[in-house]
Chains A and B, each alone.
Chain A
Amino acid sequence: MEFALDLSANKYADVPYEEKERLFKEMKSDERWPHVLYGCYECGICVASCPSARFYDFSPRIIAQAAAREDVDLLYTLMNDSVWDCSQCFSCDRCPRGNSPGQIITVMREVAVRNGLQSAKEALEGYGRIIYKIMSTGTQVSPDMLQPNAFPDWGGHVNEISEHLEVWRKALPPETLHTTETGWKVDEKTLIELYLIWHMTGVMDMIEQIDEGLYMILVDVMEERLEDAGYDVTFD
C-alpha cells in the first residue's frame, strides 16, 4: 500500500541537514514555541478530534512527536508535505499534555512562508487574490467575489447573486453594507493605518518570498495611497 505522505527522510535527502536544522532553529526560537509544545504522550487524542486526519494522510500526533523529539529531518518533510492539510480548527487544543498541535503548525507554516519554500508557494497557488483583498482593502471577503467561476460547486445561486449584486447590496438596511468591493465601507484613514501596520511588521517581506507578482502590485497600491496621505514610506 502506498501512502500519500512519505515519511522517509530520503525524499529530501538532497537538502543539506544544516539547512533543515536552520529552519528548525527558526521554529524553535519563535516566542510561541514553548507555549504550544510541552512534549507528547503519543496518546492520539489530537488525531481523534482532527478533521484533516479523517480526509488526508495527516496526523497532528506525528507533527507534535517530531517537534518534541526535535527530529529535524522529519520536521522538514512535514513542513513541506503535511502542514498545509491542517484546517486550523484547534480541536487538538484538548491535548492532555497542554500542546496546541494546530499552533505548532501555524509556526511551521510561517517559517515555510518566510523562507519561500516551494511547497508553500504551491499550497498557496490560487490564493493570491485573497491576500490582495485583505491586505489592500481591509476586509477579507467581498460581495463581488461571489462569481460563478470562483464557486462552481455552489450551484446556480451564486450566479443569481452576482447578477443582482448591485441591487441586492442596496437592499440591505445597514448603511455600511452598500458596498460590492469590500465587506463593508472602510474609512480611508483606517486603510492608511493598516498599511502602516503591514509596513512596520515585515509582513510584506513574507509576501515577497511567496509571490513576487502579488508583492509588486500590493506595493504599488499601498505606496500610492500612503503618498497621497502624506507618508513617505517605501516597502523596499
Chain B
Amino acid sequence: MKVPLSWLKDYVDVTLPAAELARRITLAGFEVAEIITTGGSWENIIVGRITAVNPHPNADRLRLATVDLGQRQETVVCGAPNLNVGDKIAFAHSGAQLVNPYNGQMEELKPAKIRGVVSRGMICSEKELGISESHEGILVLKPEVEIGRPLVEYLGDSVLDIDVTANRPDCLSVVGIAHETAALCGRKMHIPEIACEESGEPLEGRITIEISAPDLCPRYCASLITGVTITDSPAWLQERLVACGQRPINNIVDITNYVMLEYGQPLHSFDYDRLKGHKIMVRRAAGGEKFYTLDEVERELTGDMLVIGDGERTVAIAGVMGGLNSEVTGSTTNILLEAASFKATSIHYTSRRLGLTSEASTRFERGISAGLTIPALRHATQLIAELGGGKIARGIIDVYPGKKDPALIPLTAAKVRRVLGVGFSQEQIVDTLESLGFDCRGDGAGIKVTAPYWRSDINQDVDIIEEVARINGYDKIPMTLLAEPVPPQRTEPIIGLKRKIRRGLAGHGFQEIMSYTLTGLDMLSNLAAPARPPEPLPARVVNPMTADQEYLRCSLRAGLLTTLANNRRYEEGGIRLFELGRIYLPTGESLPAEPEVLCGIMSGPRAERSWLGGDGTFDFHDAKGAIESLLGQLDVNVTFEKSLDAGLHPARQAAVVVQGGERRETIGIIGEVHPAVAAAFEVTGTVGLFEINLMALLPFAAGEKTYRAVPRFPGSYRDIALVVDAGVTHRQILDIISSYPLITGAELFDVYSGKPVAPGKKSLAYRLVYQSTTHTLTDAEVNNVQEQLLERMARELGAILRS
C-alpha cells in the first residue's frame, strides 16, 4: 500500500520526518519497505513568475522568458509552447539536478549560451523535475504559491510503501494508516465531514436489491447518481492516484479507486441504465456460466462463486471484477454505486479459481469490516456528484442481513500482564486503545472493549492485548528467562544416534552431504541394473514443478552418486561421502513411513594423495571396514551374509545382519555399486557403498555397555598358517577358534594363494592370543589347546598347518 504523506496529512497532523514515521509504523507491525521521496533532489529549484516573454533574436522556435524570483530577475531561453506572462513556474538555477528528458539521467544544470544568448537557469517541465513523463510544456504552478520559495515546499512529498499484514485489510487505506499514525504519534484524527447532499428524486422504487446468498454477502449498499458527465478527473485526484501507483481513467472509475484507497472499501460503479429490470441480485453463479469481465476475458463460472446479477444476467463477479455488459462508458449518465461486504473465503476461492486478482479481491479476501461500506459509499457518492455534476437520489439503500451487535470484550490489567509480562495500568490501557478508536467502558474490576467499526481483526482479548503491546512498543517488554522448572527431557533416541553416527563417519574421513528429497523417477530407476522403476512406486507429488522433482526419494544412493560424479570433475583424490536423511515409503492410506537412513560411498584412491605414497582404490572391503568400525563404536556386533541387491555388484555385496538376544535383523547392506548403475550416473571406477536403516539399527544401538575386567595375566601369542580349500571362509575358521574360551583373540594377518600353496587352496595366517583370567598360562597349557584346535580344524575343514 502506497501512502503519500501529503494525503495522510488530510486526516492527521504529522510533524515527524518521514523516516521516523516509517520506523514507528514498521515497529508497530507494518513494514515500510521503501520511502519514495518526490523533490528530494530539488535543491536550487524555486518558485518564479513569468513577467515577460520575448522572441529569441536568433531562433524562431525559441523564446526569452523573464522570470521574477523575488530577490531578482533572470532571463532564460525556453522552447516550451505554454509560456504565459503571470504564470507561476518552477525555476531551476544553475547547479540544480534535473532529469535529462532525452535519456532519463539526472544531470547538473550548467549555464549555457543558446544561439548567442546566455541562459542561467531553466523553467522546468514535470519530466525534468521527475514528477511525471510529461514534457509537452513547462509545469504551471497554482497561483497561490509564493515567489522565491523552494519548490519542494509545494510539490515535495514522501510516499510510504507499506507491507500490510494479512489481518489488517483496514490498513490497505490511507485512513487506516492515519488511525495508526494518530495512535503512534499521539495525535487526534480529523476526517473531513462527508457532505453527501441527497438532492435528487428518491431512490426507492428505482432499484430492487435482493441478496439470495446472505451467507456470502452480509451487506449490500448502493446509491444512485443521475445526470453525471463522464470526463477526466481533476488534477489533484489524478495526482493522488498516480502517487499510489494507479492509472487515472475517468472521473467515475477514479473516484471509486480513490475512495477505495482512502477507506479500504472497494466500490463498484454500474451504468444504471444497462441494469436489466433495474434489479440487483446477489446470488451464486449458474454452473458453467460464461462471463466477460472488464479486462475483456471470458471466464467460466462455477456454482459456488458469488456474482452480482441484474434482472436477467450476471453483471459482475462479486468482489473480484465487474463485467463488460454493465460497465460505465463515456455515454453513461446514471450511475449505481455499490459498496458491499462479501465473505472473505468465498472471494479468495473465486479469485484463486479464476486466476484473477484485483485491488478489490485482495482486500475482500482478507475480510473487510462491513462497517466501512456506508462511509465509503457516501464519500464516493458525494465526489461523483461534485466532480461529475450529477444529482444524488434520496435514500441510500442498505441491505444488511448479516448485521451483528458489536462484541464487548472484557479485559483487565492483570490479563494484559499475564500475556505481556509487563504491567500497564488500566488508564494506560484505555488511553492506548482509545487512541486507536476503540471504545472502553469501565466494568467493575476491568473494562469492556469494543473495536472501532473499521476493524475486522479483533475477536478476543489477546487481539486487544497485542494492540496495547504494539502501540506502546515491544521495547517496553522486559526480558526474562523462563522462570519455571525445566520440563523433563525425553528426547527420542534416534536423535542421539544420528549425532553419534554423523560424528563417527566424519571422524572416519567421510564428508556429509545433503541432497534434495524430491527427485525424478529416472534417477531412482537408474539405481537398478538393468534400470527399472522402484517397486512399489515412490510417493509422488500431485503438482511437481519439474520432472526431476516429482517423487519423494526412496533411496539416498542417487544423490550420493550424482554428487560423486559432479565432484569428480575437479577432485582426483579419494572421495568419501555420506548422507544421513529420510527416505519416504508409501503406506497406502496413512502418511508415508519416513525411516532415517545412512548411506555412504567411497571411490578413488584409498590413501590420500601424498608425497609419502599410498596405494589401492576403494572397494568392497573398505565399505565393510567402515561399517565394522562405525558399528563397533556403537557396540553393535554384526555379521555379513549373502545378499541380492540389483544396484550392487552381484558378487561383491553382503547384507549387514545384527543378532541381539532373540532378535536377528538385517539392518543394511554393503557392496560395490553395480558398474551399470555407476555408468548411468557417469561415475567411473569402483564405488564402495554402505547403507544402514537407522530405525532397524536403533534397538541394537541403544543398549547399555557391558563391562569386562581388563586382563590381569599376560597373554601368549602364537602364529599359525592354515592351508584350506579356497571355498572355506574366514568365518568358518573363526567360528571354531571362538569355541575355545582360552583363545581371546584371532587376528587374520595374511591371506595367500599361489605357489607354493597347491592350486585350489589358500593359506590363512592368524595370530592367536591365549589368555586366562585366573593365572598366567604355561606353555604346556597353550600347546594343549592349540593341538586340540588344529586337530579340529583338520577334521572339520580339512585344514593343514603350513610349516
Chains A and B belong together in one complex = no
Interfacial residues, chain A to chain B (CB-CB below 8 A): none
